[in-house]
Structure 1
């Protein structure tokens, strides 16, 4: 550090990372695929109403957004969505693409030079017809995909099947022209995976009250000459075995990722190919997520790891994995292969998510313990561009803390960091504990400008992968069974207090924040602990009984049966843990943020909670955003949310961040 370093109190450091910059970099590319030799993917556009566009990378390296606004390539199946597009080279070597448009959820056909044409009808019933995880069957002139069809106006009046959509548009106005491939034997299904010879199809199914990370079934059926599916039968999986993905090897072997040993490992025709205490799969929050992809050579591209993920190539004959070299420390659950090329989405603490291509041709098909190279990995799309000096990026620490009963708690700690500022020597920094959503999920170790927004101003952040998080095996994941609102709250508090006890954080200036399930953890923490001076609660669950009795969508409508316990057997537990029932215990100021179009955690939850807070004289603010659902996507929303959150901390912690609008707190 030079002579120009300033000594300023924590929270008052001037930062070039403003809320608009953080918002512009929110979201990341996903759903990679190949159309002929070209890599395609979806990409967010926060400044265009939060839509997702489809991006094409031509073989000459040029890149274009294929569909202009207002086209929005995003599925609403199970509300969290799924793979919304598929493509191939059609007649005359022209791309032929099908995609789901978010506004009407219809499936469209698109060929460059023309306008998208609808392939599916609109249904006036409930949430209508929705589609996800499409597979093109040009030999049959069809698209095979998941159909989610509402049968009434309620969120659980819904059925899901595999269906075939004619590519000629004959079903665009005619529901009867859609061909259902399966019955509704399972409440939930993933998209079809077709064997190389076209004679068999595999998919996953599961039923309430299970979630897909609890237990799924792998179903296999034969394909008749007329395209009908015959003799569907369960060949793997069950109530306590989660199969996260299924696919086919080039030689016709059935590949799948199962956690039957306690870790999601890969199996080939039922036999383990790389038994390790690490994950080769993950929680199936969206239909079509992909952690492995078979290559023509017989090798398998894999996204794998323990607590973090790498992109590697697995040799199923030897069980060896060779990882791609590069700066990335995290790969998302999306993969595509073409020949010996692999495309994924990688990120690191110094770079946001970018589209990465790995050429595996140099990989020698020998025992890779000899160090055979697997080719060069390079960025081909959505490349990270340092919009500010990376000296302002946080420098995370991977930590393991000790919680109640001596249990391990995994966390990422981001201390305040600024190249030109330090705090007075006797001052300890404020810290915000971040509780991730899900809760069956985890916080990845990647560059997040929303974290940098705080750390570059002198506010530390601790992301806690509390018990129940993924990436550390089924036993760690199962810690949250019937313990939601207990283990997550205890683990976050243990990390916060450990940081204070070791002199890293100011004990009197601790906050908690989280969205969705993390919003629940934040709110519950304010009701049952005195650890935090304030909290930020974003599109949360606040009333378990209401949420578990029809207020949320079908996918999670019985999630609480495992997270909290069977409602019919332990109804008192639902009231005992709900922040809404114990609003009188909250004394710390809080900020509550909510999307008015949220069908997963609806605004009614916030409204009931605030009604219970009336007359309590606890400083708080409630901001509801029109046009936003579960997860904010519009730049203007994200800007206001971040600035409001910083203003809350400034007022409670007596900070002085320059240039931040003051959040009006009600009492």
Structure 2
């Protein structure tokens, strides 16, 4: 029998521990012959990233296949033979070679003089028994004191060999089929890799290189060799389309379309397309699996039970492997036979919580896309005279996007009667460069306005309780949450996780962020010193007295992307202000939480926070102490 109870007070089998168990994630899926390899983060093992082959762990504890290049990391492993793999180890950031038949992995990169002083990423198999990759070297004490080169590491040991050092940022090198040339992507400050990159080609052994595609306002996000030419995802017309690029720089769009077949290069090594042979290519159309046929110039969706696929496409003999997800399914490693459409899950399966999972509804609020996750619990219904509280979920980036896939954090709230809406505000990817550049110099304005429009739209139509709207986000989402709480009166409260709060500090000169994003804000807010007043006016750290309501801040103490200094200052200004707030910090956590204990504590604190802000008592969680 369905019980009538106030929204937020419902009980659910989806506990914080169950949500934490799902908080690891699958990444870097690949094929070597017929064997499927992937990396898997394990919250129960302190967030350790394990290498897995055909469902069997390859790396024993405590080895951790992860790296710090750009602080977001890049492809951390490459298979060298049927059983031998090279990988980057988190603890010392060195590259190791491992044969499971051997007792221990063997390092092939030198030991750095300082902790994490040299990092490697985007590993590929080079010629003559080498591993080719990006090397990042810390050259000083500032967070921006970094040098990058493309290097070759002999598997047998010995000194690394520098291949190229063309740009401040580079992707891993890929050698041509005939072994005479290699190619890579490069870009310099103030560009981010979705603003503009260059596709570079050099002759092996030569310091000279040519730029074949890309530029300051054209971003190549992936390339692969095809004989003596290259295939490249690039966006000269405002959409990431697939081009064939000849060595003389001439190029052809294989299927012109106003569709995003690529994505933002937040991490090095993603793959949005893979060749199927004879003029056919597997692509991702804004996350949906599709086949591009260059003879007909068409892009046709591949219908599967799991509509959202990650940028890790790999194909062998008509078999596709990747990580895929759906509205009621978390990302799982899957194998798809293109000849008959048979989909096999290599991880995961039917979810035992299926009746309690929300089904996202894609909506447009004016020109703003969003996914609405209504409260969902078969055991409960809200009173007829009560509307549910709703929380706006703001994705990170801000050059990122929300996807209509199962998120157990969201299900944790919706199964208790709290609605969630994930907003793809102006600046989000998947809708072309023009939509992405709506945020140019408008960060803290467009994102705030778009989120508010969605929240108020839900309230106006009677879906959400206008008096009980909240906002939550981490990283850039934490910025938008904080900016919303200090510049609008839409929300009763906000959860702000590992945020940017002070724009002037979150720059290379400010010294409070890492090199990769140290000039990101120039495009998002404006160049300094001309835009200094804008930086000060928009920063939540300068508007603590304008907070519209209570806030909960969550912060990892080892975060190098959004360091704790900013949250520390924000909370120091809040203390004694009379505004209810709480601040939880987490030892051993970087940007985003990987440990089960941290995820559990953060979710339970957030639920208690909403209860106090929205006026209900959530059962089964400790009461979060709010200070003033």
Cα drift, residue 27 of structure 1: 3.1
- Partner residue, 1:111: 99
Equivalent residue for 1:518, pick from 436, 454, 477: 477
Matched, 1:476 2:435: yes
Aligned partners of 1:321 and 1:355: how far apart in 2?
Answer: 24
Equivalent of 1:78 in 62, 70, 75:
70
Q: Of the candidates 357, 360, 364, which is equivalent to residue 335 of structure 2? A: 357
Q: Paired residue for 1:162? A: 150
Cross-structure match for 1:216: 197
1:489 and 2:451 correspond = no
Which residue in the other structure is 1:240 paired with? 217
CA distance in 2, matches of 1:253, 1:316: 16
Equivalent residues of 1:117, 1:169 under 8 A apart? no
Partner of 1:131: 120
Q: What's the CA shift for 1:342?
A: 2.0
Instruction: Kindly indicate whether residue 303 of structure 2 is the aligned counterpart of residue 325 of structure 1.
Output: yes
Tell whether the 8 Å contact from 1:248 to 1:294 is kept in structure 2 after alignment.
no
Alignment partners' CA distance in 2, 1:132 and 1:487: 34
Instruction: Indicate the SS of the match to 2:477.
Output: helix
Number of the residue aligned with 2:8: 11
Correspondence for 1:370: none
Kept after mapping to 1: 8 A contact 2:270/2:312? yes
Q: CA separation in 1, counterparts of 2:301 and 2:36? A: 21
Query: Is it true that 1:412 corresponds to 2:371 in the alignment?
Result: yes
**Structure 1: how far apart are the matches of 2:116 and 2:10?**
48
TM-score with structure 1 length normalisation? 0.91
> Which residue of the partner structure matches residue 313 of structure 1?
291
> Equivalents in 1 of 2:179, 2:207: separation in Å?
13
**C-alpha separation in 1, matches of 2:408 and 2:488:** 29
SS in 2 for 1:544: coil
Equivalent runs, 1:122-201 vs 2, <5 Å:
122-125=111-114, 127-137=116-126, 139-170=127-158, 177-183=159-165, 185-201=166-182
Is the CA contact 1:296–1:340 (under 8 Å) kept in the aligned structure 2?
Answer: no
Cα deviation per residue 1:437-482 (whole Å; 9 max; x = unaligned)?
Answer: 0000001110011111111110000101100000000000000000
Gaps of 5+ in 1: 58-62, 171-176, 363-374, 403-407
Aligned partner (choices 380, 385, 391) of residue 432 of structure 1: 391
- SS of the residue corresponding to residue 147 of structure 2 reads strand
2:282 match: 301
> 2:248 is matched with which residue?
none
* Structure-1 separation of matches of 2:278 and 2:39: 28
Paired residues for 1:332-351 under 5 Å: 332-351=310-329
Provide Cα deviations, 1:340-361, integer angstroms capped at 9, x if missing partner: 322111100011101122234x
Residue ranges of structure 2 left out of the alignment (5+ in a row) = 246-250
Structure 2 partner of 1:365:
none
- 1:547 is displaced (CA, Å) by 1.1
Instruction: Please state if 1:599 is matched with 2:560.
Output: yes
2:229 corresponds in structure 1 to 253
**TM superposition shift of 1:663:** 0.4
- Matched length: 620
Q: Is the 8 A contact 1:165 1:178 kept in 2?
A: yes
SS at match of 2:93: coil
State the alpha-carbon separation in 2 of the partners of residues 245 and 623 from structure 1. 39
1:447 paired residue number: 406
The Cα of 1:302 is off from its aligned counterpart by: 1.2
- Aligned equivalent of 2:356: 392
Is the counterpart of residue 101 in structure 1 residue 82 in structure 2? Answer: no
Q: Which runs of 4+ in 1 moved over 6 A?
A: none
Give the aligned CA root-mean-square deviation in angstroms: 1.3
Any conservation in 1 of the 2:310–2:322 contact (CA below 8 Å)?
A: yes
CA contact (8 A) 2:575 2:627 kept: no
Q: Compared with structure 1, are the counterparts of its residues 323 and 291 closer, same or farther at alpha carbon in structure 2 (3 Å cutoff)?
A: same
Question: Could you tell me which residue of structure 1 aligns to residue 341 of structure 2?
Answer: 376
Task: Indicate the larger mover: 229-238 or 583-592.
Answer: 229-238
The superposition leaves residues 502-521 of structure 1 with CA deviations (integer Å, 9 ceiling, x where unpaired) of: 11100110000100000000
* Alpha-carbon offset, residue 22 of structure 1: 0.4
Q: 2:493 aligns with which of 534, 548, 555?
A: 534
Q: Is the CA contact 1:25–1:449 (under 8 Å) kept in the aligned structure 2? A: yes
Deviation at 1:127, TM superposition (A): 4.1
- Aligned to 1:267, what secondary structure does the other structure show? strand
Q: In 2, Cα distance between the equivalents of 1:537 and 1:662?
A: 18
Q: In the aligned structure 1, how far is the partner of 2:319 from the partner of 2:178?
A: 22
Pair 1:279-2:256 in alignment: no
